[in-house]
């Protein structure tokens, strides 16, 4: 047991399995009291089973830590609120929330149904909002706290998971908005893009060359929740962690600008744009053939 998070109370969603479970165990091992949330669903988000969160609580208690289970669906406002309220009722405070819960419903865009789009966006993006919303209201009052969202390298785009990619891009913008909106209250917000061996990564459409264990991701989350990261004023950042690799993503910014002499017309743009602002080539476009070959070998849905 370390003391990186001694005295802190941390809530972790999706903490019944995979990365969330490793985060919850690591937070407890570093001295935090932990709210373990998990709806206990299949990878597609079906068949909720409430015992999953309780199992992790027992593991934490067996190791000498303190934890409480919440089996709610964080895609609901009531679920997000309950996660935060449980921390306050049981432990009297909330210092950090880590939104890890996620599901996958893979389908090509041209065949994707509303039933494949809505739950994925609701679990990832709204499920981060519900918890951030409830936690930030308390953190604003007590002038401190840490919000952590989970994104993916797939926020750059995805061949067969437009729903997941769009939700993960949304989470980055939500985290940056939280960083901006809560800066004056001493609340930090950051995003983690993990690559780790779990049931979810076993499902990705391509071979992952750089990958590690959920415990690598948990170490980064513990650091970001700690006073050491707060002293460095780390906020509004997106970090990839993949085994031994850690990387920071660039902030979005305009690459090149040009100005019209007078107002724009389509004709003027057709003459002017290609030779001036041009394009910024999309790195993933160059990987399409390799991804298609990997997908074919893994029997991906092409429907």
Ligand X SMILES: NC(=O)c1ccc[n+]([C@@H]2O[C@H](COP(=O)([O-])OP(=O)(O)OC[C@H]3O[C@@H](n4cnc5c(N)ncnc54)[C@H](O)[C@@H]3O)[C@@H](O)[C@H]2O)c1
Return the residue of 5, 9, 11, 19 that touches ligand X, per CB under 6 A: 19
What gap in Å lies between CA 64 and CA 214, rounded to an integer? 21
**Catalytic residue check, 185:** no
Our finding on whether 173 is near ligand X (CB under 6 A) is: no
- For ligand X, the closer of residues 45 and 145 by Cβ is 45
Nearest distance from C-beta of residue 123 to ligand X, angstroms: 5
- For ligand X, the closer of residues 72 and 95 by Cβ is 72
What gap in Å lies between CA 90 and CA 86, rounded to an integer? 6
- For ligand X, the closer of residues 211 and 292 by Cβ is 211
- For ligand X, the closer of residues 128 and 136 by Cβ is 128
What three-state secondary structure class fits 125? helix
Our finding on whether 37 is near ligand X (CB under 6 A) is: yes
Please list every residue from 39 through 58 that binds ligand X, using CB under 6 A: 39-41, 43, 45
What gap in Å lies between CA 169 and CA 183, rounded to an integer? 21
Burial class (CB in 10 A: 0-12, 13-18, 19+), 17: buried
The catalytic position among 164, 185, 223, 259 is 164
- For ligand X, the closer of residues 277 and 291 by Cβ is 291
Our finding on whether 134 is near ligand X (CB under 6 A) is: no
User: How many residues bind to ligand X according to rule CB under 6 A?
Assistant: 32
Q: Which residues contact 62 (CB under 8 A, 6 or more apart)?
A: none
Nearest to 32 by CA among 16, 11, 18: 11
Our finding on whether 196 is near ligand X (CB under 6 A) is: yes
What is the bridge-based pairing of β-strands 96-99 and 145-150? parallel
Nearest to 11 by CA among 138, 122, 116: 138
What gap in Å lies between CA 277 and CA 255, rounded to an integer? 8
Return the residue of 81, 152, 226, 237 that touches ligand X, per CB under 6 A: 152
In total, the chain counts a number of residues equal to 303
x/- string (CB under 6 A) for ligand X, residues 61-80? Answer: ------------xxx-----
| DSSP H or E run through 243 | none
Return the residue of 5, 87, 101, 175 that touches ligand X, per CB under 6 A: 101
Exposure string of 102-117, with b = 16+ CB inside 10 Å and e = fewer, is: bbbbbbeeeebeeebb
Considering only 10-18, 223-231, 258-266, 285-293, which stretch makes contact with ligand X by CB under 6 A? 10-18
Applying CB under 6 A, the residues found at the interface with ligand X are 13-14, 16-20, 37-41, 43, 45, 73-75, 100-103, 123, 127, 150, 152, 194-196, 198-201
Catalytic sites, residue numbers = 164
């Amino acid at each position: 047991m370390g003391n990186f998070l001694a005295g802190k109370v941390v809530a972790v969603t999706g903490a019944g399995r995979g990365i969330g479970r490793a985060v919850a165990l690591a937070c407890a091992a570093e001295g935090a009291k932990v709210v373990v949330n998990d709806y206990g669903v299949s990878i597609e988000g079906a068949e909720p089973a409430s015992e999953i969160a309780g199992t992790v609580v027992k593991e934490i208690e067996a190791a000498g830590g303190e934890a409480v289970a919440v089996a709610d669906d964080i895609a609901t406002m009531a679920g997000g609120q309950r996660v935060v309220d449980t921390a306050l009722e049981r432990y009297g405070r909330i210092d950090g929330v880590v939104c890890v819960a996620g599901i996958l419903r893979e389908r090509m865009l041209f065949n994707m149904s509303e039933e494949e789009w809505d739950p994925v966006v609701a679990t990832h993006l709204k499920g981060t909002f519900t918890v951030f919303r409830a936690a930030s209201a308390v953190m604003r009052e007590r002038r401190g706290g840490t919000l952590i969202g989970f994104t993916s390298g797939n926020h750059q785009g995805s061949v067969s998971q437009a729903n997941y990619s769009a939700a993960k891009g949304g989470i980055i913008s939500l985290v940056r908005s939280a960083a901006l909106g809560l800066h004056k209250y001493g609340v930090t917000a950051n995003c983690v893009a993990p690559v780790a061996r779990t049931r979810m990564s076993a499902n990705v459409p391509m071979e992952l060359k750089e990958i590690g264990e959920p415990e690598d991701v948990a170490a980064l989350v513990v650091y970001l929740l700690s006073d050491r990261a707060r002293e460095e004023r780390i906020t509004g950042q997106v970090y990839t962690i993949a085994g031994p690799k850690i990387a920071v993503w660039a902030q979005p910014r305009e690459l090149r600008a040009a100005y019209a002499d007078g107002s724009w017309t389509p004709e003027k743009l057709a003459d002017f744009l290609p030779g001036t602002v041009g394009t910024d080539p999309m790195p993933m476009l160059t990987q399409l053939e390799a991804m298609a070959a990997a997908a074919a070998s893994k029997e991906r849905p092409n429907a």
